[in-house]
Structure 1
């Protein structure tokens, strides 16, 4: 549906007023397009000395030069050994290790062993303070008392074990089925 032009300000000729308003709007849009930002939103300048890091490259080159120098020296030594067969044979088969304090350590070990044997002898010669045979008899009497006052027979849990296991299996099945349906 066509709507008639309605100027904001009064005008004698609506056609001319519409053209003028359109020109004013175009001029406004052109100025908005050409407007420059007051705030600088450009990315900062990139300086090459921040990205290349010449000192780091120099240190790396020096490290590589040292490694190459060490490798060259090792190669020269290996070549000399290969040409001459080496100078010294360091393998000596008739050498046996000697310790300066071997006898002292041996005497210390003997002393500790004798002390341990003496402690063991004292422990074994001492009569026990508690009578374990008396305790075992008292335990048997206490078990009889417990059997007299219990609600269930002595081995009721072993007869119910298969029933309890079946109940646990059924509960596990129900839990698994609930989990499967909830997913």
Structure 2
């Protein structure tokens, strides 16, 4: 049997029919006026779980090592630029064994 609203079904009692019609109309009004109840907000979380102090400390140490190494490289480069980058390309190696 196909779905038919109750107010379409015949009933012998007028009182019962009007009660069903009123209940059905109230139901249709509630369905039409219904508001969505889905919560789309982000879940509530505690802030101290997201703040990883150990990770921040390790990152700070790593960056300080990088800064120190960069300063050393900069000092070496500035020394090379000041002294015109003189390099010694002579080979002062002496043979230990004589050729026969």
Measured against the shorter chain, the TM-score band is 0.3 to 0.5
TM-score, length-scaled by structure 1: 0.30
Q: Which has the larger radius of gyration?
A: 1
**When you count helix as a share of all residues, which structure comes out higher?**
1
